[in-house]
Amino acid sequence: MPELVFDQVLEQAGFRPTRQRRAVYEHLEAMHGHPTAEDVFHAVRIELPRISLATVYKALESLVESGVAQKMSGADGTAHFESRVDEHFHARCRACNRIVDVEALPEFHRCVDKIRTAGFTIERARLELTGICELCARQHHN
Protein backbone atom coordinates (compact mmCIF):
# COMPACT_ATOMS: atom_id res chain seq x y z
CA MET A 1 0.00 0.00 0.00
CA PRO A 2 1.48 3.40 -0.99
CA GLU A 3 2.46 5.64 1.91
CA LEU A 4 -0.04 8.35 0.99
CA VAL A 5 -2.95 5.90 0.93
CA PHE A 6 -1.79 4.36 4.20
CA ASP A 7 -1.69 7.77 5.86
CA GLN A 8 -5.17 8.63 4.64
CA VAL A 9 -6.71 5.34 5.75
CA LEU A 10 -5.24 5.68 9.23
CA GLU A 11 -6.28 9.29 9.58
CA GLN A 12 -9.81 8.43 8.52
CA ALA A 13 -9.89 5.81 11.26
CA GLY A 14 -8.71 8.40 13.77
CA PHE A 15 -5.08 7.31 14.07
CA ARG A 16 -1.97 9.35 13.48
CA PRO A 17 0.13 7.69 10.77
CA THR A 18 3.31 7.62 12.84
CA ARG A 19 6.62 6.24 11.67
CA GLN A 20 6.23 3.32 14.08
CA ARG A 21 2.79 2.36 12.76
CA ARG A 22 4.06 2.65 9.21
CA ALA A 23 7.10 0.46 9.99
CA VAL A 24 4.96 -2.15 11.73
CA TYR A 25 2.67 -2.25 8.71
CA GLU A 26 5.54 -2.54 6.25
CA HIS A 27 7.10 -5.43 8.14
CA LEU A 28 3.79 -7.20 8.53
CA GLU A 29 3.20 -6.83 4.81
CA ALA A 30 6.64 -8.26 4.01
CA MET A 31 6.29 -11.22 6.35
CA HIS A 32 4.88 -14.47 5.10
CA GLY A 33 2.18 -16.34 6.90
CA HIS A 34 0.38 -15.07 9.96
CA PRO A 35 2.95 -13.75 12.43
CA THR A 36 2.34 -13.01 16.10
CA ALA A 37 3.01 -9.56 17.59
CA GLU A 38 6.29 -10.95 18.87
CA ASP A 39 7.33 -12.09 15.37
CA VAL A 40 6.59 -8.60 14.01
CA PHE A 41 8.43 -7.06 16.96
CA HIS A 42 11.60 -9.00 16.16
CA ALA A 43 11.45 -7.84 12.53
CA VAL A 44 10.67 -4.17 13.28
CA ARG A 45 13.35 -3.98 15.97
CA ILE A 46 16.03 -4.25 13.30
CA GLU A 47 14.75 -0.98 11.79
CA LEU A 48 13.64 0.72 15.02
CA PRO A 49 15.86 -0.68 17.82
CA ARG A 50 14.11 1.28 20.57
CA ILE A 51 10.59 0.10 19.82
CA SER A 52 8.91 -2.00 22.51
CA LEU A 53 6.72 -5.09 22.15
CA ALA A 54 3.83 -3.15 23.71
CA THR A 55 4.17 -0.42 21.07
CA VAL A 56 4.22 -3.00 18.29
CA TYR A 57 1.14 -4.66 19.75
CA LYS A 58 -0.71 -1.33 20.00
CA ALA A 59 0.36 -0.42 16.46
CA LEU A 60 -0.98 -3.76 15.18
CA GLU A 61 -4.29 -3.14 16.97
CA SER A 62 -4.59 0.30 15.33
CA LEU A 63 -3.87 -1.27 11.93
CA VAL A 64 -6.64 -3.81 12.52
CA GLU A 65 -9.04 -1.04 13.61
CA SER A 66 -8.12 0.94 10.49
CA GLY A 67 -8.94 -2.06 8.33
CA VAL A 68 -5.48 -2.55 6.82
CA ALA A 69 -4.71 -5.69 8.82
CA GLN A 70 -6.52 -8.69 10.20
CA LYS A 71 -6.23 -10.32 13.58
CA MET A 72 -7.07 -13.90 14.45
CA SER A 73 -6.47 -15.98 17.52
CA GLY A 74 -4.56 -19.20 17.51
CA ALA A 75 -5.36 -22.36 19.48
CA ASP A 76 -3.14 -21.28 22.34
CA GLY A 77 -4.91 -17.92 22.55
CA THR A 78 -2.04 -16.04 20.88
CA ALA A 79 -3.08 -13.37 18.42
CA HIS A 80 -1.85 -13.70 14.85
CA PHE A 81 -1.84 -10.88 12.31
CA GLU A 82 -1.76 -10.46 8.55
CA SER A 83 -1.93 -7.58 6.09
CA ARG A 84 -4.30 -9.51 3.85
CA VAL A 85 -7.82 -8.20 4.43
CA ASP A 86 -9.85 -9.75 1.61
CA GLU A 87 -12.28 -12.56 2.43
CA HIS A 88 -10.43 -15.81 2.89
CA PHE A 89 -10.33 -18.57 5.43
CA HIS A 90 -7.79 -20.18 7.66
CA ALA A 91 -6.74 -23.73 8.29
CA ARG A 92 -4.85 -24.08 11.55
CA CYS A 93 -2.54 -26.96 12.35
CA ARG A 94 -3.09 -28.14 15.90
CA ALA A 95 0.38 -29.67 16.05
CA CYS A 96 2.59 -26.74 15.01
CA ASN A 97 0.04 -23.88 15.19
CA ARG A 98 0.80 -22.88 11.61
CA ILE A 99 -2.02 -20.99 9.89
CA VAL A 100 -2.57 -21.57 6.20
CA ASP A 101 -4.73 -19.42 3.91
CA VAL A 102 -7.71 -21.07 2.24
CA GLU A 103 -9.46 -19.30 -0.63
CA ALA A 104 -13.23 -18.88 -0.43
CA LEU A 105 -15.05 -20.88 -3.12
CA PRO A 106 -17.91 -19.36 -5.16
CA GLU A 107 -20.23 -21.91 -3.50
CA PHE A 108 -19.46 -20.31 -0.18
CA HIS A 109 -20.31 -16.84 -1.50
CA ARG A 110 -23.57 -18.21 -2.89
CA CYS A 111 -24.38 -19.65 0.50
CA VAL A 112 -23.66 -16.31 2.17
CA ASP A 113 -25.84 -14.51 -0.42
CA LYS A 114 -28.70 -16.86 0.34
CA ILE A 115 -28.50 -16.14 4.04
CA ARG A 116 -28.29 -12.44 3.23
CA THR A 117 -31.51 -12.57 1.20
CA ALA A 118 -33.14 -14.38 4.11
CA GLY A 119 -32.96 -11.07 5.90
CA PHE A 120 -29.77 -11.40 7.84
CA THR A 121 -27.22 -8.61 7.55
CA ILE A 122 -23.83 -10.29 7.37
CA GLU A 123 -20.95 -8.06 8.27
CA ARG A 124 -18.25 -10.62 8.04
CA ALA A 125 -17.95 -14.27 7.11
CA ARG A 126 -15.32 -16.32 8.84
CA LEU A 127 -14.44 -19.95 8.72
CA GLU A 128 -11.64 -21.68 10.55
CA LEU A 129 -10.57 -25.20 9.82
CA THR A 130 -8.48 -27.14 12.29
CA GLY A 131 -6.38 -30.20 11.63
CA ILE A 132 -2.90 -31.43 10.83
CA CYS A 133 -0.80 -29.68 8.19
CA GLU A 134 1.06 -31.48 5.44
CA LEU A 135 4.46 -31.11 7.10
CA CYS A 136 3.30 -32.45 10.45
CA ALA A 137 1.42 -35.29 8.84
CA ARG A 138 4.55 -36.30 6.93
CA GLN A 139 6.69 -36.15 10.06
CA HIS A 140 4.24 -38.37 11.85
CA HIS A 141 4.54 -41.07 9.21
CA ASN A 142 8.31 -41.08 9.06
Query: Could you tell me whether strands 128-131 and 88-93 are parallel, antiparallel, or unpaired per DSSP bridges?
Result: parallel
Nearer to Zn ion, 52 or 78 (CB): 78
Task: Tell me how far, at minimum, the Cβ of 130 lies from Zn ion, in Å.
Answer: 11
Nearer to Zn ion, 17 or 82 (CB): 82
**Chain residues that interact with Zn ion, rule: CB under 5 A:** 82, 93, 95-96, 98, 101, 133, 136
Q: 92 burial class (0-12, 13-18, 19+ CB within 10 angstroms)?
A: buried
Among 60, 64, 72, 70, CA closest to 130: 72
Nearer to Zn ion, 58 or 71 (CB): 71
Q: How many residues does the chain have?
A: 142
